[in-house]
Chain A
Amino acid sequence: MMLSLKDKDRPVIRKLLAAGCCGRCILRFCCVGKYSSYQQSCEDIHKALLAFLSEDDGEQSHDASGEAEMGDPPCKKMKLDSPQPSSGENASAEGVSEPKAQSGVCVACVGVLQHFCDQSYAKQVSEVVRKGEYQFDSLMLAVSLPAQLSVREHSCWLHIKKEVKEKSMCLDKEDMVQVKDAFKWAVQGLVGKELGASVLTNSAFEVSVGFAHPETDGDCHFLATECPDCFKPTKNKASVFTRMAVVKALEKISDTKFLRHYPCPPVSPSSQCTPLETTCLRASVFIAGRYNKFSRELPQTPWVIDGERRMEGSVEELIANPLLSAFKADGFNFCSSGREDVDVRTLGNGRPFAIELLNPHRAKFNKAEMRQLQETINTSSDKIRVRDLQIVTREATSRMKVGEEEKTKSYSALIWTQKPITPADLDFLENIKELKIDQKTPLRVLHRRPLAIRQRLIHSMSTSYLDTHHFTLQLRTQAGTYIKEFVHGDFGRTKPNLGALMETEVDILELDVESVDVDWPPAVPE
């Protein structure tokens, strides 16, 4: 069996075996980067390591001269030092290593790489994934390890630092293979085969496994007194000893300080780690489209006051519910290019929207299926209608918000006037172009928006006379203009307003959005 070890690894191997490291951890500390080395069974790796050490006994005399490896400059110091420690430790390694590695729990990985890299664990994980009923053809594996593994890793590193430096001065702690990577190299192929999916470093489907080892949780505690500034309590973290915090503290602490507080090599644990629940997460799918709203009694989002629903249904629910069940998603976030009031209709081409579907168990839909889905939404309610429904990328959804303020929106409003009017009284409105108005934040939204005066443009207006007290006003305005307030004036807080222009009290009885000029998402041909 090829383990890709070099002769200079022998002192490192001997020391780690004696310290109670498992075979895979020893490969890690020898910087073995060949995936297949980790895929053998624990016993085979262990046997191969012992065989590799015994090879040395016969060839020892040739080694020093015969191993001029590329990139390893011959080191005078090593030549002098090597015979002594290697012969001295040989004896102890032979006597101690075998029982320890076979029966004991690894001091470095507390069993992660000993007991959870085999077919049976891969089967266990795959079983959970299958139960989730996800649709996927690739996956990525995420591993969460107890933070104290970093402390144990550091202790092991200090234990063999001298031997590693003798191997090559260029090698450092960062060059060791991480537990996480060794675990993935060993097990992810088995999981992939079990599930019939390719395992990638980046996939939209993530399978998360993790391990806990309560017995050694206390390993990190001395770091908090040595590096208190690395462990600031945060609101949403259960413990301050996060992996990141521990790694940061270990970078700061001096070797002598560390050795004063922590044994080197680490103490052998009496129990192995326990696996955490396997979880699956599919990256969000984004759906975009345009909607019409034909009802004056339908809010865009659920209208809840003091925990009580004010009105049944909402635009977002009518659109999202069929999508949620088709994509088998856990939840959604709805987002649109502006919004309209409960009593406002949105006509014309409709308003662009995007929905993020969270953790969809099904994610692949072709154009025909999307068209079918659109049809399902449209037949489910006559209050709304959807067009251009399509799957988009997360990045593309930002185009909906770009230049939102500069865009033009067209409206149609039914106006009541206190004074009786004739068609001629309306003519002057058509001559007003690019009217600048100052709008204080409308009172109806002031409770949740900052108070400010915003300048907006009414590009143009046209009218259709109805009777002595009513007419229809068509407006083209800058996006963000509050139309209702422009009409009734909002206690004189929008200036000028239609009432002031017409020199009578006016009110707005109905309002329709006629168009939202945002050219995203692209039209989907019928």
Chain B
Amino acid sequence: MAETHERSPSVIDRYYTRWYKTDMKGRSCEDHCILQHSNRICIITLAESHPILQQGRKIKSIDYRISDGCSRLNNKVSGKSKRGGQFLTEFAPLCRIMCTDDTEYTIFSCIRGRLLEVNEDILKRPDLLLEKPSTDGYIAVILPKLEESKTITKDLLTREQYEDVVSKRSTQPQESL
């Protein structure tokens, strides 16, 4: 009895579908994972293969101010219809993450939709992003348009396709530089 605790399906397994965007904007290994709830809400997270999550990396800073005029921190939504939220397209940047080795990464929306919230907890505790990248260390919550909720994922990879891409990377080491 005590040994029968193989993990049953997790919250993500039960209610979300995992979608992936690999090599975002042609940048090698910058993989994003989009968790889509059955109610169409999407949570943007780092895929486990993202360079930031690789052995030993540390985060120096996270910045949701993506330009002088625009900060994701200013995003506010009101009412059931979430009026006022910034509308994002696939390549809209969500935040920039600087690692301690001074490499900077941009995290993108990956899907079209209205920004509902960004995760401010990772500003105070950047380690959350490293420790729980697919739950408490999420980047943002986006609500796709109702009529687009089925089509926004058509250019994304399924979990299976993603695993395929990642395993090919390791068997065929990339020509560096």
Using a CB–CB cutoff of 8 Å, the interface residues on chain A facing chain B are: 416, 418, 440, 443-451, 467-470, 488-489, 491-492, 507, 509
Please count how many residues in chain B sit with their CB below 8 Å of the partner chain's CB atoms.
Answer: 29
With both beta carbons as reference points, the residue of chain A lying nearest to B15 in the complex is identified as A444
B2 and A443 contacting across the interface, CB-CB below 8 Å: no
Q: Which residue of B lies closest to A470 (CB)?
A: B5
Chain A residues with CB under 8 A of B82: 450-451
A507 partner, pick from B2, B10, B119, beta carbons under 8 A: B10
| B145 CB to nearest A CB, Å | 12
Cβ contact within 8 Å between A443 and B128: no
Q: Can you list 17 contacts pairing A with B, beta carbon distance less than 8 Å?
A: A440-B117, A443-B41, A445-B39, A446-B141, A446-B143, A448-B80, A449-B80, A451-B77, A451-B82, A451-B116, A468-B2, A491-B43, A491-B135, A491-B138, A492-B128, A492-B135, A507-B11
Any A CB within 8 A of the CB of B65: no
Pick from A449, A488, A492 the residue with the most CB of B within 10 Å: A492
Question: Which of B2, B39, B143 meets A467, CB within 8 Å?
Answer: B2
Q: Roughly how many angstroms separate A488 CA and B132 CA in the complex, as a whole number?
A: 13
Tell me if B80 and A416 are in contact (CB < 8 A): no
Which residue from chain A places its CB closest to the CB of B79 in the assembled complex?
A450
Expressed in whole angstroms, the Cα–Cα distance for A484 and B135 within the complex equals 15
Residue B170 CB within 8 A of the other chain: no
B83 to chain A: closest residue by CB: A450
Q: Is B103 an interface residue (CB 8 A)?
A: no
Chain B positions 68 through 93: 1 when the CB is less than 8 Å from some CB of chain A, otherwise 0: 00000000011110100000000000
Interchain CB contact (< 8 A) of A491 among B1, B80, B136: B136
Inter-chain contact B5/A416, CB cutoff 8 Å: yes
Chain B 1-36 residues near chain A, CB threshold 8 A: 1-2, 5, 7-8, 10-11, 15
Residue of A443, A468, A492 with highest tally of chain B CB at under 10 A: A443
With both beta carbons as reference points, the residue of chain A lying nearest to B85 in the complex is identified as A451
- Cβ-closest chain B residue relative to A469: B5
The 4 closest A-B pairs by CB, nearest first: A492-B136, A469-B5, A447-B39, A468-B2
- Please, which residue of chain A has its CB at the minimum distance from the CB of B128? A492
Chain B: minimal CB distance from A471 (Å) = 12
Q: A443-B41, A450-B79, A491-B43 are in contact. Are A416 and B136 (CB under 8 A)?
A: no
B142 CB, nearest partner CB in chain A, Å = 11
Check: B57 CB closer than 8 A to any chain A CB: no
Chain B residue, CB-CB nearest to A492: B136
From the candidates A451, A470, A488, A492, name the one contacting B11 in the complex (CB within 8 A).
A488
Give the residue of A443, A447, A489, A507 whose beta carbon is less than 8 angstroms from that of B43.
A443
Query: Is B78 in contact with A450, judged by CB distance below 8 angstroms?
Result: yes
Whether the Cβ atoms of A467 and B1 lie closer than 8 Å is: yes
Given the complex, which residues of B lie within 8 Å of A447, measured CB to CB? 37, 39-41, 143
Closest to A485 in B: B11
Which B residues lie within 8 Å of A445 (CB)? Answer: 39
| Chain B 93-127 residues near chain A, CB threshold 8 A | 116-117, 119, 121
Contact status of A444 and B39, CB under 8 A, knowing A450-B78, A467-B1: yes
In-complex Cβ contact of A509 among B8, B77, B135 (8 A): B8
A507 to B116, CA, bound (A): 25
B5 contact set on A, CB distance < 8 A = 416, 467-470
Q: Are A451 and B2 in contact (CB under 8 A)?
A: no
Q: For B135, what are the chain A residues with a Cβ–Cβ distance below 8 Å?
A: 489, 491-492
Q: How far is the CA of A450 from the CA of B79 in the complex (A)?
A: 5
B151 CB, nearest partner CB in chain A, Å? 14
Q: How many Å lie between the Cα of A449 and that of B39 in the bound state?
A: 12
| B141 A416 Cβ-Cβ under 8 A | no
When C-beta atoms are compared, the residue in chain A nearest to B40 turns out to be A447
- CB of A492 within 8 A of CB of B121, answer yes
Which residues does chain B contribute within 8 Å of A468, judged by CB atoms?
A: 2, 5
Q: Which residue of B lies closest to A484 (CB)?
A: B11
Determine which of B79, B116, B121, B136 lies in contact with A446 in the assembled complex, contact meaning CB atoms within 8 Å. B116
Q: Are B41 and A451 in contact (CB under 8 A)?
A: no
Interface residue from A416, A443, A491 paired with B8 (Cβ < 8 Å): A416
Closest chain A residue to B11, Cβ basis: A488
- Please measure, in the bound complex, the distance between the C-alpha atom of A446 and the C-alpha atom of B82, giving whole angstroms: 9
Chain A residues within an 8 Å CB radius of B7:
416, 418
Contacts of A469 in B (CB 8 A): 5
Chain B residues with Cβ below 8 Å from A449 are 80
Q: How far is the CA of A449 from the CA of B77 in the complex (A)?
A: 11
Residue from the list A440, A444, A489, A509 in contact with B37, Cβ < 8 A: A444
Taken together as a complex, chains A and B put the C-alpha atoms of A458 and B161 apart, in Å, by 43
* In the complex, residue of chain A having the shortest beta-carbon distance to the beta carbon of B150: A306
Q: How far is the CB of B40 from chain A (nearest CB, A)?
A: 6
- A445 CA / B80 CA spacing, docked (Å): 10
Closest chain-B Cβ to A107's Cβ sits at a distance in Å of 54
Q: Which residues of B contact A443 (CB under 8 A)?
A: 37, 39, 41, 43, 141
Report A-chain residues with C-beta under 8 Å of the C-beta of B143: 446-447
CB distance from A496 to the nearest CB of B (A): 12
In Å, the complex CA distance between A507 and B13 comes to 12
Q: How far is the CB of B120 from chain A (nearest CB, A)?
A: 10
Kindly list chain A residues whose C-beta atoms are within 8 Å of the C-beta of B80: 448-450
A18 → chain B closest CB, angstroms: 64
Contacts of B117 in A (CB 8 A): 440, 451
Minimal Cβ-Cβ distance residue in B for A440 = B117
Given A451-B116, A492-B121, residue A446 in contact with residue B41 (CB < 8 A):
yes
What's the minimum C-beta distance from B117 to chain A, rounded to whole angstroms?
Answer: 7
Interface string of B53-77 (1 = CB under 8 A from A): 0000000000000000000000001
A454 CB, nearest partner CB in chain B, Å: 15
Q: Is B136 a contact partner of A489 (Cβ separation < 8 A)?
A: yes
Other A-B contacts than A418-B7, A447-B41, A448-B80, 18 sampled, CB-CB below 8 A, are: A444-B15, A445-B39, A446-B39, A446-B41, A446-B116, A446-B141, A447-B39, A447-B40, A447-B143, A450-B80, A450-B82, A451-B77, A451-B117, A468-B5, A488-B11, A491-B43, A492-B128, A492-B138
| Chain A contacts for B77, CB-based, 8 A | 450-451
Complex contacts, B1 vs chain A, CB 8 Å = 467
On chain A, the residues within 8 Å of B41 by CB distance are 443, 446-447
Complex formed: what's the CA distance from A469 to B119 in Å? 30
Q: Which residues of A contact B10 (CB under 8 A)?
A: 507
